[in-house]
Homo-oligomer: A and B are copies of this chain.
């Protein structure tokens, strides 16, 4: 079985033109099959402001009405995705941009309305890797934005961390799959103020203890839940840290194990 790397990058890279250019240059050098997943960063929020479309949030989550979905589709699948693809091509990495609608790769369902209506937000239901396998076997690199679809013609805004973990799980049936979450910190930190306090290994047991002791809290919880979801569903390796962890073997980061 070949090894594939599924790599997710977030706002700290997307929102910084130089950091993105640097990352893309390095990403292009990774040998073997690979998939890139990118979040949206702050560009969608900026565009919404420019268009006088109010950004609605609920407990830190964006509510996606029709106008916001349009903005997200334009920014994530259009501007960000196509510019990443063009830059990868410049570094001789043959990339093709994807939303979950393309190749019917990521099928989700609109989140049911309970106390709050999140609008056009999708929870992943199914991943189809057929089209991806064909491309990966032909040395082509899929680049995913965080949009899925419901198979009835509706695009849906979907969490980029979830897209990455679900793709990794889907691909793990045909590849030995490694999942990398790149963000602005060196990994999960024992002390959030101290970049050197990286917890290098977390397993299901220690995760429980870290949560009980409030060392891991808030924003890190959904990220780690995605990691353990992937590890429990056949993904071989999950790492969290700065993107440097991919290119420098001695770069400290957090590895998630069962």
Q: Which residues of A contact B (CB under 8 A)?
A: 47, 50-51, 70, 73-79, 81-83, 85-87, 89-90, 94-99, 101-104, 130-131, 134-135, 138, 140, 147, 149, 151-155
Contact of B134 with A90 in the complex, beta carbons under 8 Å: no
Contact of B73 with A151 in the complex, beta carbons under 8 Å: no
Contacts known (A79-B70, A99-B82, A135-B134); A151 close to B89, Cβ less than 8 A: yes
Nearest chain B CB to A58 CB, angstrom units: 25
Contact of B90 with A131 in the complex, beta carbons under 8 Å: no
Main secondary structure of the interface of A (DSSP, over half): helix
Contact of B86 with A77 in the complex, beta carbons under 8 Å: no
Nearest chain B CB to A132 CB, angstrom units: 10
A149 surroundings in chain B (CB, below 8 A): 86, 89
A98 surroundings in chain B (CB, below 8 A): 96
Q: Which of A75, A82, A138 has the most CB of B within 10 A?
A: A82
Measured in the bound complex, the distance between the Cα atoms of B178 and A18 in whole Å is 44
Measured in the bound complex, the distance between the Cα atoms of B78 and A47 in whole Å is 14
Measured in the bound complex, the distance between the Cα atoms of B72 and A79 in whole Å is 9
Contact of B77 with A81 in the complex, beta carbons under 8 Å: yes
Nearest chain B CB to A86 CB, angstrom units: 4
Measured in the bound complex, the distance between the Cα atoms of B98 and A226 in whole Å is 30
Contact of A155 with B83 in the complex, beta carbons under 8 Å: yes
A152 surroundings in chain B (CB, below 8 A): 90
Q: Which residue of B lies closest to A107 (CB)?
A: B89
Measured in the bound complex, the distance between the Cα atoms of B81 and A82 in whole Å is 12
Q: Which residue of B lies closest to A93 (CB)?
A: B104
Contact of B82 with A77 in the complex, beta carbons under 8 Å: yes
A95 surroundings in chain B (CB, below 8 A): 101-103
Q: A77-B81, A82-B99, A96-B96 are in contact. List 7 more A-B contacts (CB 8 A).
A: A50-B51, A74-B75, A83-B155, A90-B151, A97-B97, A97-B99, A134-B134
Contact of A86 with B101 in the complex, beta carbons under 8 Å: yes
Measured in the bound complex, the distance between the Cα atoms of B87 and A96 in whole Å is 20
26 interchain pairs, CB-CB under 8 A: A50-B51, A73-B79, A73-B82, A74-B74, A74-B75, A75-B78, A76-B78, A77-B77, A77-B81, A82-B99, A82-B147, A82-B155, A83-B153, A85-B102, A86-B101, A87-B153, A89-B101, A89-B151, A90-B152, A90-B153, A95-B101, A95-B102, A97-B97, A97-B99, A131-B138, A134-B138
